[in-house]
Amino acid sequence: MNLPDDFITKYRRLLGAEADDFLASFDTPSTAGYRVNPAHHDLPATVTETPAVPYAKFGHYGAVSGRSLMHQSGAVYSQEPSAMFVGATAAPQAGERVLDLCAAPGGKTTHLASYLRGTGLLVTNEINRKRVKVLAENVERFGVKSAVILNDSPDRLSPVFPDYFDKVLVDAPCSGEGMFRKDPDAMSYWSLDYVEDCATRQREILTEAVKMVKPGGQLIYSTCTFAPEEDEQMMAWVLKTFPDFHLVPITKTGGVVDARPEWADGNPELAKAARLFPHLMQGEGHFVAKLERDAGDARTPRGQAKLGTELTSDQRKLWQDFAQTVLGHAVAGQLITVKDQLFAVPDDLPDLKKAHIFRPGLHLGTFKKNRFEPAYALALASADEPATQTLAITDEQWRAWVHGETFTLATAPTKGWYLLTCDQQPVGFGKVVGQTVKNFFPKGLRFTVYDD
């Protein structure tokens, strides 16, 4: 690989004798990985019995196609193995309030959601308007519950969530040196100046992020770059600028090593952070640090969330009929409508009037004239709670389904909505009329499955 000259010179200087192995690793193949969604059951051995990533709960080595049933049903999420170290370091406890500040496309957010399992609160934010759409698609596909998706800059969010979160993740926009092997285009905008620009932006993001960590809470900072300016030096700057934060040790296995204090101000505390190097482990490379805020009094956020409109009695009845007949269980959270869309919003939210809300919670469906149409997101969030009205479809029918076609059943079940499953995995809600299953697979997501 033609690495930039400045990059080679810099890492020869920093790594000394280790530089040859580091630089040679860019010419070796990448190792793919994926995480298994703990909300899904009865998964085939092809996804559960591949080698586990030693440090990452739910993580496995191997590749899963984006057009496979496992990916499309949200049973797995493809993620390169070193990126899994971030979620594994944050490892939120059930019931915690968690913020993912730089979240698209959603690799770490979906990992955090696997720990929360629908408890607590996950606020997942992406500043970029195009990227927040991709984040929402991935959050929905992974069946995440108790999540609010925001589209804001960190300085707009910090007054909304003062001292609020048990855990804040800053997976910072960075110079992406750890992406060079997988995506050589990442080299085209790299330069020594670009590293400095990224560091400036990271300081701005962190300045807002620290305000949202509750006293005693944690801030997890990560990058996919090797540049000390964005890694050890950034943490040295946080320790000096925000003296109520300190680094806490991270357990390091599977080739993960201590960060390099000598690449910053020599503060030995910096060794508590972790470096993932491609010549020492199977993965592209990351830097991860865990900071903890001292205990103390927290400011209270203003007001309560008012995110939408209460349901009319007709809407409530339509939803209850659907929930009883098709789902067979209630859905957690507060029910609200935004225009004709029904959402289940997490209970524990402050006033979000000043935030740009992209999704206020789990999308349950749409109220149409005198009827309710369930959402794709609700179907994929049903993996851990069997629905009363379920219809198992074949692989061939699933291919027709994701292509947007209706298909015909051998016999006619009772008319109405069914949660369709294929190989035990939820794939959407279909409406059965006679022997026909009408297609409600979202138009923008339709695709053709080709044989391998």
Q: Which residues are annotated as a binding site for S-adenosyl-L-methionine?
A: 102-108, 126, 152, 171
Nearest distance, CB of residue 291 and ligand SAM, angstroms: 17
Comparing CB distances to ligand SAM, the nearer of 62 and 105 is 105
Comparing CB distances to ligand SAM, the nearer of 92 and 308 is 92
Peptide bond into 105 cis (omega under 30): yes
Nearest distance, CB of residue 201 and ligand SAM, angstroms: 5
What are the Cα distances from residue 230, in Å, to 191, 193, 195?
13, 12, 7
User: Using an 8 Å Cβ cutoff, are 375 and 364 in contact?
Assistant: yes
Comparing CB distances to ligand SAM, the nearer of 113 and 345 is 113
- Is 198 a residue of the active site? no
Catalytic residue among 174, 198, 224, 422: 224
Nearest distance, CB of residue 161 and ligand SAM, angstroms: 14
Nearest distance, CB of residue 170 and ligand SAM, angstroms: 8
Query: How far is Cα 10 from Cα 395, in angstroms, rounded to an integer?
Result: 52
Nearest distance, CB of residue 224 and ligand SAM, angstroms: 6
Q: Please state the three-class secondary structure of the chain as a single string.
A: CCCCHHHHHHHHHHHHHHHHHHHHHHHCCCCCEEEECCCCCCCCHHHHCCCECCCCCCEEECCCCCCCHHHHCCCEEECCHHHHHHHHHHCCCCCCEEEECCCCCCHHHHHHHHHHCCCCEEEEECCCHHHHHHHHHHHHHCCCCCEEEECCCHHHHCCCCCCCEEEEEEECCCCCHHHCCCCHHHHCCCCHHHHHHHHHHHHHHHHHHHHHEEEEEEEEEEECCCCCCCCHHHHHHHHHHCCCEEECCCCCCCCCEECCHHHCCCCHHHHHCEEECCCCCCCCCEEEEEEEECCCCCCCCCCECCCCECCCHHHHHHHHHHHHHHHCCCCCCEEEEECCEEEEECCCCECCCCCCEEECCEEEEEEECCEEEECHHHHHCCCCCCCCCEEEECHHHHHHHHCCCCEECCCCCCCEEEEEEECCEEEEEEEEECCEEECCCCHHHCCCCCCC
Comparing CB distances to ligand SAM, the nearer of 83 and 393 is 83
Nearest distance, CB of residue 46 and ligand SAM, angstroms: 24
Q: Quick one: tokens of 179? A: 């992406």
Return the closest-CA partner of residue 148 out of 333, 320, 299: 333
Query: How far is Cα 140 from Cα 122, in angstroms, rounded to an integer?
Result: 13
Nearest distance, CB of residue 102 and ligand SAM, angstroms: 3
Which spans of this chain sit near ligand SAM (rule: CB under 6 A)? 102-108, 126-128, 131, 153-154, 171, 173, 201, 205
Q: Give the residue ranges of the annotated binding site.
A: 102-108, 126, 152, 171
Comparing CB distances to ligand SAM, the nearer of 107 and 426 is 107
Comparing CB distances to ligand SAM, the nearer of 3 and 134 is 134
Which residues are part of the catalytic machinery? 224
